[in-house]
Amino acid sequence: MASIRTLKKDLAYLVNAVISDAYVALYFQPAEQRDAIFGIVEKAAELNNTLLDRINRPAEKHNPSLVKKHYAQIRREMTDGVEKLFEELSQVCKHTK
């Protein structure tokens, strides 16, 4: 099992990638898209905060099998959440005139 430290670093890296891409998109997109892009940034921050909270507080500390499943679920939610945010950003950037 990967360490908790590595999981936190991966979460920070992926969320920062979404946020930095969103800010780059702000530069190239028209002003009408600003609210949608800022919404994606807020969702990324919310994803970071909720997953970080769950990483720091595992449900069952004394059962190694459940702890391993807990962190595997967090990793799946992290990758799915970041993928969804990138897809939303892509959709917002496609609909420009």
Q: How many residues does the chain have?
A: 97
CA–CA separation, 83 and 81 (whole Å):
5
Q: How does DSSP classify residue 95?
A: S
Percent of the chain with pLDDT over 70: 95
59-80 pLDDT per residue, tens:
777 888 888 899 999 999 999 9
Range of the domain at 51: 4-94
- pTM given for the model: 0.88
Tokens 């959709």 label which residue? 91
Instruction: Report the candidate in 40, 74, 39 with the shortest Cα–Cα distance to residue 58.
Output: 74
Number of domain units in the chain = 1
